[in-house]
Amino acid sequence: MASEITYAEVKFKNASPTAAVEVPPETKKHERHPQKYPQWLPWLISLLLLLVCIALVITLLVAPSSHRRDQPTALQQNFMEWQCVLAVPQDKDQGWTCCPKGWRHFQKSCYYVSDGMMSWVESVQNCTGMGSHLVVINSKAEQVFLSEELRQSPGDNYYIGLSAEKVGQWHWVDQTALNVTAAFWRKDEPSNKDDQKCVVIHRTSERPNNWNDVKCGRHHRICEAAAVTV
């Protein structure tokens, strides 16, 4: 402020009397008292801009994921009636686990055990059309659960999602290879014959080792889908 006053004094000292008279009062007043913004104003503007940027980033990151959670799954689009069970207490974000009415629930999956029979190709299409797939068995616990569920079922053979394009090269319907540590073949199975490239659970065989490779004809099926959490 002192430097500005000194500058003004020098300027008017060197100016002619006529020039000093001709200067409008408003101009003099403006020059003697220049308008100043508060020193904190630029900091406030910077802070507001920073907050706006943070809000935009949060919106871009959070909103799409929330939108995806709100989208119904293919399974939800196919069924109107659901049965729900309370999830484990540790899972605080999701309180209920739901499956379509008539499906069996285990861990994070829902299972459909068919009454009718279809070929392998028809079975794959049928499960897909319901928003699911032929069951992929990943653990002994899952295998034991399914074997127990089939005890009261009417059929003998139930397709699972395991097949071979070439003899002995077994793959699940999700394109993962068979894990030999989680394989549950019957004794002396698989036969590995060229005309037996589909796999079923044989209901009456000793549990849990009850898989059998068979011809891809008409059998019952087990479909699987991820359970819906709400």
Assigned token pair, 183: 């394989």
What lies within 8 Å, CB to CB, of 164 at 6+ separation is: 170, 171, 197, 213
Cβ–Cβ < 8 Å for 109, 229: no
> How many CA atoms lie less than 13 Å away from 141 in the CB half-sphere?
4
Q: Omega into 100 within 30° of 0, i.e. cis?
A: no
Distance in Å from the first CA to the final CA of the chain: 65
Q: Is the pTM of this model over 0.85?
A: no
Q: pLDDT tens digits, the chain, 230 residues: what are they?
A: 444 433 333 343 444 444 444 444 544 444 555 556 677 777 888 888 888 878 776 655 544 444 344 567 888 888 989 999 887 655 555 588 999 999 999 999 999 999 999 999 999 999 999 999 999 999 999 999 999 999 989 899 999 999 999 999 999 999 999 998 899 999 999 999 999 999 999 999 999 999 999 999 999 999 999 999 88
Residue showing tokens 């907050």: 51
Give the domain ranges of the chain: 2-70, 75-229
Tell me the residue type at 118. M
Distance CA 194, CA 196 (A): 6
Residue showing tokens 């479909």: 223
How many CB atoms are closer than 10 A to CB 220?
A: 22
Q: Which one-letter DSSP state was computed for residue 72?
A: P
Closest CA to 225 of 130, 140, 146: 130
CATH superfamily of 75-229: Mannose-Binding Protein A, subunit A (3.10.100.10)
pLDDT at 46: 84
pLDDT at 48: 87
Cβ–Cβ < 8 Å for 227, 108: yes
3-state secondary structure 158-180: EEEEEEECCCCCEEECCCCECCH
Residue showing tokens 């409008």: 24
Please give the radius of gyration of the chain, using alpha carbons only, rounded to the nearest integer. 38
Distance CA 26, CA 133 (A): 84
